[in-house]
Structure 1
């Protein structure tokens, strides 16, 4: 029986959803939303805060400040409330209402950036606000999830070993890309592992994390309006860009089977299923990460008016029957299917880079 005294001491590490019966391809989805912050960001937040404490950057008078589209803000709010720090989250108008309300309920302050920086989009405007704020008051400590190595180290130390322990014959790992912390931590770990693992990065169309043309992005979580400073593409085998309409269709398909996941999960699942449909997956052990659950998206990707206004009334119609990238389903289970089941059950806009500081204090 787990008994904890602080919220970041609990995280469900070994829960996987078998997606074969829903999408027709063998894929194990690692669920990271079962903790008190509700997302995988609790790992990075804990690592960054505890590193800052060890380095003497945080004092009782410090005010944590971070730019976040949502989940990291909630994770830092959870930790700040537990440790007695003040926390200010700088976000923008795309942040879900429920996410903002959770942060405020935990005692954090939320500042919403309404406009966009000329070339850096919402992210550029958020970063500029944080830098100006820090310059005005030395009590502010900016953890800078975009440049902080503790971001990826959290997943090198925790997430990747959790997967390796359950899947010692892992072949393919699908990872969404935002700050690239999860991607780089897991990719670095498996690069050093005893057998090769193919690392597939999932990004949103309109994101410029891996280059390309910037475009409208309305679903928070994955994608960047700049190249992530933490990203090292030499660790990535392939990049798949997913349209937001396909993200939405994947989320709704999961929800119709009782699994309510967030937008980032929809992007990862849609891209992974497209990749598996193009490859012979009968002998592959494939895992994907679901960063959060879907309750925080009820007023966006699960809200009819929001969907129709942004993506048109037909956005969900193409998923009424199996189609698109998921159509090539293999009816026969792979040869190693039973053994793998045993393992799981075991005992937004613009391209200019905002100016970051290398230090975590402002």
Structure 2
């Protein structure tokens, strides 16, 4: 086990969950929630702050500011607290209550945007609030996860390398599409070093990341109301869109086996199983899915019967016919 002197030094994750017995397929989850930021976003946060330090952008009076739906906000809160930096996170009403409390506990000033932008939705409103803050006070430094190359570079240099080293015979990699950092970093690495590996992007239904009109989304994390600037459609082999109802069912099916994962992970796993059902009927492919987070921050949403019933209807809470099922509604092996 590593010995660390700062929370953002604990980044490398070699923990995988073998879902073969659960799904009947050879699929492994790369668990990125076992760090002090609780998600894959700690890699991004540490890389962006390190890049700002290297470029001489941090002054004694600098206030870091970032737009985030939750996980990056917590990750930057961890890094900022560790380095003695002041941080303001601009989030929106979809942010989980637990996540808000975490950021504030770490000393972050949290601004919650409630009114969506007419064109860009809540994401557009968050970005505009950040721009206003930066225009009004030159102490603010926007790290801008959406366009900062340190976002995808962090995953090109670490996440993808870890997966390739652990699974040299990998066939398919499933990665969620949010800002595009994890997806682009992994896709670029495998294009250059193991082109036989198919990289499949998993997005939330209602996201405009890969075109189309944006729709309502209640689970923070994956997806965007406007295409993420960093995303490169040409770098991925396919795209899967997952309804939030399916993401919830997948999360709950996994939790019934003792694996409490977050909404983003439920989306990625649901998308991976859907794609494999359509493209690998003979169950020959070995695949890895990146699990961005754990489930403790979703106890009041995804894992709340009242919240699910109110927003998606009680049919989402009903088990599939036949009782105990896998995350994709197939009988356990």
> What's the counterpart of residue 223 of structure 1?
223
Residue 187 of structure 1 aligns to a residue whose secondary structure is helix
Verify the 8 A CA contact 1:274 1:325 in the aligned structure 2: no
Residue 219 of structure 1 aligns to a residue whose secondary structure is coil
Moved more, 321-330 or 239-248: 321-330
Deviation of 1:328 (Å)? 6.6
The structure-2 alpha-carbon separation of the partners of 1:305 and 1:329, relative to structure 1 and needing over 3 Å to count, comes to closer
The structure-2 alpha-carbon separation of the partners of 1:115 and 1:182, relative to structure 1 and needing over 3 Å to count, comes to same
The structure-2 alpha-carbon separation of the partners of 1:21 and 1:125, relative to structure 1 and needing over 3 Å to count, comes to same
Moved more, 215-224 or 53-62: 53-62
> What's the counterpart of residue 111 of structure 2?
111
The structure-2 alpha-carbon separation of the partners of 1:329 and 1:27, relative to structure 1 and needing over 3 Å to count, comes to farther
> What's the counterpart of residue 240 of structure 1?
240
Is 1:58 the counterpart of 2:70? The answer is: no
Verify the 8 A CA contact 1:277 1:327 in the aligned structure 2: no
> What's the counterpart of residue 11 of structure 2?
11
Can you give the 5+ residue segments of structure 1 that lack an aligned partner in the other structure? Answer: 332-362
- How do residues 283-302 of structure 1 correspond to structure 2 at under 5 angstroms? 283-302=284-303
Q: Which has the higher contact order (CA 8 A, sep 6+)?
A: 1
> What's the counterpart of residue 344 of structure 1?
none
> What's the counterpart of residue 129 of structure 1?
129
Deviation of 1:213 (Å)? 2.5
> What's the counterpart of residue 146 of structure 1?
146
Matched pairs, number: 331
> What's the counterpart of residue 171 of structure 2?
171
Residue 315 of structure 2 aligns to a residue whose secondary structure is coil
| d(CA) in 1 for partners of 2:284, 2:112 | 48
> What's the counterpart of residue 311 of structure 2?
310
Instruction: Point out 4+ residue stretches in structure 1 off by more than 6 angstroms.
Output: 322-325, 328-331
| d(CA) in 2 for partners of 1:329, 1:312 | 24
User: RMSD in angstroms over aligned alpha carbons?
Assistant: 1.7
Can you give the 5+ residue segments of structure 2 that lack an aligned partner in the other structure? Answer: none
Residue 314 of structure 2 aligns to a residue whose secondary structure is coil
The structure-2 alpha-carbon separation of the partners of 1:324 and 1:205, relative to structure 1 and needing over 3 Å to count, comes to farther
Deviation of 1:194 (Å)? 3.9
